[in-house]
Structure 1
Amino acid sequence: MDALSEDLELLPVTRRALSRRIALAQSEGRAPSVVAAVVRGGEVIWEGSRTCVEGHGPDGDVQYRIGSITKTFTAVLVMRLRDEGLLELSDPLGRHLPGTGADEVTIAQLLAHTGGLAAETPGAWWERSSAELRPGLAEVLGEEPFKQVPGRRHHYSNPGYTLLGSLVEALRGKPWEDALRAEVLEPLGLERTSGQPRAPHAGGWAVHPWADVMMPEPSEDLGIMAAAGQLWSTARDLARFAAFLTHGDERVLSVASVREMRTAEAPAETGSEDAGYGLGTQLSVRGGRRLAGHGGSLPGFVAGLWLSEADDVAAIVLANCTSGVPASTVAADLIGIVAEAEPRFPEPWRPFREADRVPLEVCGPWYWGTAAHVVRLKADGSLELGPVGVSGRAARFRAEPDGSWTGLTGYYAGETLQAVRRADGSVSHLDLGSFVFTREPYDPEAPVPGGVDPQGWRGIG
């Protein structure tokens, strides 16, 4: 058995722990049903359910409404427009969708909920009232759409994602759902994800808070607000979507673009320092583990999709109750159970495979002043720079055609690293955004800013 197959098989004790966790969620949350799936290495490695109907349980092919997880799908469509060059995230909305009353808000601000727009629509609660009350964006935004100064703080906004859905329609020339189906659902094989429910699907229920009784919830079509929360999906479809959000898929978005979606754009609110928001993804820290994903709820349903890139594990939890089951918390727990009980196998070490000359002259120890650093060449051609023995500014760099490297992470993200050569072609020093790294501390032969004392190193006395 190779490492990959070992990584995709769970021990019986782990499977039991996962089953027990969703059993607790269904029992304590008093949900008619709960269905869940866990993904590792891009594959579903566990699926389970719990129900109040004896002898019957939903499987991973039963549709549930997923609420605001829909927003992540909408964000993928917007990122595709960006990657195709049809817009920039810094563009004001009015450049592409004028006349909404929110022209100055940027597309990035809408994606990250920092546009200052209201959390909800004016009038009746939109999740439980007819879409006919909101035939257009004017009814969605109202006369006073802003509650905050744009760009100042994170303020979750359902109308903001309605604007993004309308933006997609304007630039694609087709309904939001048609664009989603053609550009995301079909390429990823999400055949059981749709705007309207398709059998088999769960019914949505409200459970009385103080009595073990329940009643059905209405299921409203969201109309123009579909991009904020319309979708129905299954645990298996969302498992595929979670694998895409982890690894990317060149047919939809590259791994770099999905990683950008999972990068913090909005700071955490005071009192919620373990949470933040990216571009269409919620961010969280649970048990010291960094997670990305999204929660969702609509009357009768709660949902959670979360992933840990470091562990390459994702989990999906769906339940058909208005409240009671903390789907996102349960999903995070499922990730933790697998990641802690059965840590992933590391990727096999492989040597550098590039045909070009291996740049060994930049590898090894360097000094920024007296601070020791080391440069390592990775098999994918990138460089890693970091301090030796202490915490500090570490970063990864991408090789460029001109022989330089561009920072990808940390303090040096976007900065240029260059190997400065002497007349004979040998490397004198590294230049990183004006910082000079030398082969020995304050090398007198290198152009150290401020110069080097001509008497060199010495003791006292």
Structure 2
Amino acid sequence: MTTSPDAPTVLPATARALEHLLAAAQAEHRLPSVVAGVVRGGRLVWTGAAGTAVDEAAGERPPSATGTQYRIGSITKTFVAAGVMRCAEDGLVGLDDPVGRHLVELGTDGVGALTVGQLLGQASGLQAETDGPWWERTAGEGWDRLRELLGPGALRHRAGVRFHYSNVGYGVLGELLGRLRGAAWDEVVAEQFLRPLGMDRTTTRPQAPAAQGFAVHPWADAVLPEPEHDAGAMAPAGQLWSTVADLARWAGVVADGAGVLRRESAEAMREPQVVDDARGAAWGAGYGLGLQLWNTGGRRFAGHSGSMPGFVAMLRVDVETSDAVLALTNSTTGFGDLPVRLLTAFTDAEPAAPRPWRPQAVDADVLELLGPWYWGPAPLVLRAGRDGSLELSGLTGRARASRFARDAATGAWRGLDEYYAGEVLRPVRGADGSVSHLDLASFRLTRTPYDPDADVPGGVDPGGWRP
């Protein structure tokens, strides 16, 4: 086992359990090599490696859990998406902009009419793969050639209505990112993310030590080297190579922006755009703005898988705790559910410590809003969030709920999530200056059920409550 120099380590018993899971997966799935890591508090707390990596320069050698490069496939999409979100932060593009507004050669209908947000969220309906040769195994061509393929026939579904994974869409987004910044997409990613985060082992082509990708024969213990090449205009869909150590830093961007992306942008990337509604199965997966999302028993995870010939990768972050798992292998068929098993074993053995409670300052005009309220006869409660928000929830069971942030200009509160996202919560004061009731999206929240003095729409029966 190896760890980053300044990181705490897991308990010895936890390390042994994780190492066993890794070794068992390497044997069960017949992986030439596999490396993995677990992140807590923004640092690698455990790394492991199994098998034998092969690279042309060094030949066979044990893989380094932190130093050996593997191709990360579609995890590349998260970097492109973050770059587009930075453009949105800087006012260069809007998520509702038709992509043809910025790539004028695409026109104003067809592919050109797809919005940037639809492309980011895999909701564009654009074809999954390019026409012609298998792009992942053949040398790529430039944007002009990809653009020629983006005619009316490239649209497989009506935009915005279903999840349809499109590598082609990220080829388009890579060109958009480069066009908006006046540089190649990978140069933008390096400038805005890789260098500031110290991810100096994340590159578009392999740099030694780097694992050779293999296909493992399905019925024999034999391997076949897979090709590696520059994917050209399709590179934004899966070109990057990286290490466990570098991806541990990128997990922080998924969690909270890590200082290179605004926190609200990271939160927007984790907001579901579409669900993966597989036939005959309850859905537990979806897609945000460049991130895969998983919902396991109410527990939310975000990140991305990656697959290219010879390689499979996974980055998965627990949204609540920011604990993360990383796994990389140089086998086309991959490692099954190893990442989930590693993260579950770690968090079961060493649960994340709860955030310590501390008193906090609360404004007087916020204090008077807190406590029980009633939506008709249904009891609700307003609490003060530790981030300055108000949190509305049911007092005795499930109810319409939301968090609200104060609008500095008006003093009203605007919904951040769930049912009342975007709606306004406005305290209404009586003649004596005290809060009479709350106006919420036309509803009246009162201190007693159907308070007759609170201007309840439709009035309150003058006979009052009765047996």
Matches of 1:130 and 1:457, distance apart in 2 = 77
TM-score, with normalisation over the residues of structure 2?
A: 0.92
Matches of 1:52 and 1:249, distance apart in 2 = 33
Quote the residue 2:462 is aligned against: 454
Gaps of 5+ in 2: 1-6, 54-59
User: Which amino acid is the alignment partner of residue 11 of structure 1?
Assistant: L
Quote the residue 2:317 is aligned against: 307
Q: Find out whether 1:99 has 2:105 as its counterpart.
A: yes
Matches of 1:259 and 1:367, distance apart in 2 = 30
User: Which amino acid is the alignment partner of residue 169 of structure 2?
Assistant: G
For residue 251 of structure 2, give the secondary structure of its aligned residue in structure 1: helix
User: Which amino acid is the alignment partner of residue 381 of structure 1?
Assistant: G
Matches of 1:142 and 1:30, distance apart in 2 = 42
User: Which amino acid is the alignment partner of residue 319 of structure 1?
Assistant: T
User: Which amino acid is the alignment partner of residue 204 of structure 1?
Assistant: G
Quote the residue 1:429 is aligned against: 437
Contact 1:134 1:140 in 2 (8 A): no
Quote the residue 1:318 is aligned against: 328
Matches of 1:261 and 1:389, distance apart in 2 = 32
Matches of 2:434 and 2:139, distance apart in 1 = 72
TM-score, with normalisation over the residues of structure 1?
A: 0.93
Change (3 A) 1:431 1:444: same
Residue pairs, 1:41-120, within 5 angstroms: 41-52=41-52, 56-100=62-106, 102-120=111-129
Identity of aligned residues (%): 50
Quote the residue 1:12 is aligned against: 12
Quote the residue 2:393 is aligned against: 386
Q: Find out whether 1:242 has 2:251 as its counterpart.
A: yes
Quote the residue 1:174 is aligned against: 183
Contact 1:69 1:294 in 2 (8 A): yes
Q: How many Å apart are 1:308 and its aligned residue?
A: 0.7
Contact 2:142 2:232 in 1 (8 A): no
Matches of 2:101 and 2:334, distance apart in 1 = 43
Quote the residue 2:270 is aligned against: 262
Matches of 1:18 and 1:80, distance apart in 2 = 36
Q: How many Å apart are 1:29 and its aligned residue?
A: 1.1
Contact 2:143 2:175 in 1 (8 A): no
Q: How many Å apart are 1:339 and its aligned residue?
A: 2.0
Change (3 A) 1:285 1:447: same
Contact 2:18 2:342 in 1 (8 A): yes
User: Which amino acid is the alignment partner of residue 179 of structure 1?
Assistant: V
Residue pairs, 1:315-354, within 5 angstroms: 315-326=325-336, 329-353=337-361
Q: How many Å apart are 1:14 and its aligned residue?
A: 1.7
Residue pairs, 1:18-29, within 5 angstroms: 18-29=18-29
Quote the residue 2:452 is aligned against: 444
For residue 105 of structure 2, give the secondary structure of its aligned residue in structure 1: coil
Q: Find out whether 1:410 has 2:418 as its counterpart.
A: yes
Quote the residue 1:296 is aligned against: 306
User: Which amino acid is the alignment partner of residue 453 of structure 2?
Assistant: E
Quote the residue 2:56 is aligned against: none
Contact 1:311 1:339 in 2 (8 A): no
Contact 2:163 2:276 in 1 (8 A): yes
Contact 1:8 1:41 in 2 (8 A): no
Deviations 1:388-438 (A, max 9, x none): 121121211112213211111110111111110012211000111111011
Contact 2:252 2:258 in 1 (8 A): no
RMSD value, Cα: 1.9
Quote the residue 1:374 is aligned against: 381
Matches of 2:299 and 2:432, distance apart in 1 = 49
User: Which amino acid is the alignment partner of residue 397 of structure 2?
Assistant: V
Change (3 A) 1:324 1:183: closer
Change (3 A) 1:88 1:380: same
Contact 1:50 1:57 in 2 (8 A): yes
Matches of 1:288 and 1:64, distance apart in 2 = 32
User: Which amino acid is the alignment partner of residue 341 of structure 1?
Assistant: A
Q: How many Å apart are 1:133 and its aligned residue?
A: 8.3
Matches of 1:290 and 1:195, distance apart in 2 = 30
Greater shift in the superposed pair: 358-367 or 88-97:
358-367
